Amino acid sequence: MQTQALRSFCTWLEHTSMSQTIQTVDWVVPAVQTIHILAIAALMGSALMINLKLVGALGRDQPLAHFSERSVRIIWCALPVLLVTGLIMIIGEPARSLQNPVFQLKMCLVITAIAITLCFQAPLRNNAGFWDATVARRGASLALAILSLALWIGIVFAGRWIAYY
Amino acid sequence: MQYDAILKSLEATAVGKAIGESESLFPWIECVHVLAIVLVVGSIAIVDMRLIGWGSRDRSVTRLTRDVLPCTWVAFLFAACSGALLFVSKAVTYGHNFFFLGKMLLLVLAGTNMAVFHLLLSHDVEHWGATPATTPLPARIAGAISLCLWICIVAFGRWIGFTLHPSLGAG
């Protein structure tokens, strides 16, 4: 996506005083990227734990609802941090991010991953044992978890590739 | 100087040259490295926070570490191997980079902290109980040190990319 409107928006953003500050103060970008990576670490750690729990590799002594509630809560705490630090990076280098096809792909993957997390979480609100109730639901929950973990891995990879495009 | 000669010969190896000369190998290995580090830090933080007393307090430390630490070790293996590959492709540059050397030192400190915890502090871990478990002060300190060290390792790792080519500024 490379519209004229997007190009002029990037040019405008680049010249705002906030963007200029991010560009000129040396430590801002690496510091923000460090926080971004730490938030991804919290998110990926949780996503991995849910997956291992669903395949039965760990936490056999705990019910799924209890386990997933904690992990999903961590994911929802990490996402705003990722959004804010991500926005700071975008303001610092609008063209390199917004006009970058890899960045655009990453955002599509992020939206899909969030949608899947919501699909996983929603039924648990009214029925904590929802995903444990039938064999089919167990299978579905496992499929959702594997798909979301694959998406998060894709998001991490895309994130690193933004720098090379 | 001996050190520089070793760095140069590492760069001259077939692996070092292949990664150094390829356009896409370095970023792909970097992706694996970032993913592995994210999983190391994400999993070890669960254990550290449990030791400090910030989370998972309904599970005993023994159960939690049995579940989580195998993931940490597998991820660490991937991080170390991918890191070694990245290193040999630019050994001379990394070998003289403050943040790279600092990151290696921090890794040694994290390993030492872990060894001290396992060998000296956790001998009575079975008796720490499950609920509402308060871990002994030395264990809480070990957890806090580990968490701080891993946060610094991520920060130093990110700063390496910004200090390799001062003229370019980013990477």
Q: What is the pLDDT of residue A19?
A: 95
Residue B171 clears pLDDT 60, i.e. is over it? no
Residue A80 clears pLDDT 80, i.e. is over it? yes
Q: What is the pLDDT of residue B153?
A: 98
> Which chain A positions have a beta carbon within 8 Å of B169's beta carbon?
26
Q: What is the pLDDT of residue A128?
A: 80
Nearest chain A CA: its distance from B18 CA (Å): 18
Q: Do A45 and B55 touch (CB under 8 A)?
A: no
Residue B56 clears pLDDT 50, i.e. is over it? yes
Q: What is the pLDDT of residue A53?
A: 84
* Residue A108 near residue A151 (C-beta atoms within 8 A): no
Query: For A112-137, how does the pLDDT look when each residue is reduced to its tens digit (9 = 90+)?
Result: 999 998 898 888 888 888 888 888 98
Q: Do A45 and B41 touch (CB under 8 A)?
A: yes
Query: For B134-151, how does the pLDDT look when each residue is reduced to its tens digit (9 = 90+)?
Result: 788 899 999 999 999 999
> Which chain A positions have a beta carbon within 8 Å of B68's beta carbon?
49, 58
- Computed over every residue of chain B, the mean pLDDT equals 90
- State the average pLDDT over residues A47-66: 80
Q: How confident is the model at residue A7 (pLDDT cuts 50, 70, 90)?
A: very high
Q: Do B170 and A159 touch (CB under 8 A)?
A: no
> Which chain A positions have a beta carbon within 8 Å of B56's beta carbon?
70
Rounded CA separation B28/B21 (Å): 14
Q: Do B31 and A161 touch (CB under 8 A)?
A: yes
Residue B130 clears pLDDT 70, i.e. is over it? no
Q: What is the pLDDT of residue A30?
A: 95
Rounded CA separation B17/B27 (Å): 15
Complex ipTM value:
0.91
- State the average pLDDT over residues A46-61: 82
Residue B167 clears pLDDT 60, i.e. is over it? no
Query: What percent of chain B shows pLDDT beyond 90?
Result: 72
Q: What is the pLDDT of residue A1?
A: 64
Residues of B at the A interface, defined by Cβ within 8 angstroms: 27, 30-31, 34-35, 37-39, 41-43, 45-46, 55-56, 59, 63, 67-68, 71, 151, 154-155, 158-159, 161-162, 169-171
Q: What is the pLDDT of residue B10?
A: 95
Q: How confident is the model at residue B169 (pLDDT cuts 50, 70, 90)?
A: very low
Q: How confident is the model at residue B168 (pLDDT cuts 50, 70, 90)?
A: very low
Rounded CA separation A97/A115 (Å): 23
Is B94 or A72 the better-scoring residue by pLDDT?
A: B94
Contacts of A53 (CB under 8 A, 6+ apart): A59, A62, A64, A67, A68
Contacts of B56 (CB under 8 A, 6+ apart): A70, B46, B49, B50, B64
Q: What is the pLDDT of residue B131?
A: 52
Interface with chain A: mutation pick from B35, B56, B99, highest number of A CBs within 10 Å: B35
Closest chain B residue by Cα to residue A157: B31
- Cα dist. B167→A48, B110, B163, B170 in Å? 39, 32, 9, 9
Secondary structure in 3-state letters for chain A: CCCHHHHHHHHHHHCCHHHHHHHHCCCHHHHHHHHHHHHHHHHHHHHHHHHHHHCCCCCCCCCHHHHHHHHHHHHHHHHHHHHHHHHHHHHHCHHHHHCCHHHHHHHHHHHHHHHHHHHHHHHHHHCCCHHHCCHHHHHHHHHHHHHHHHHHHHHHHHHHHHCCC
Q: What is the pLDDT of residue B22?
A: 92
- State the average pLDDT over residues A42-46: 93
Residue B1 clears pLDDT 90, i.e. is over it? no
Q: Do A163 and B38 touch (CB under 8 A)?
A: no
Q: What is the pLDDT of residue B170?
A: 45
Q: How many other CB atoms sit within 10 Å of the CB of residue B35? A: 22
- Computed over every residue of chain A, the mean pLDDT equals 90
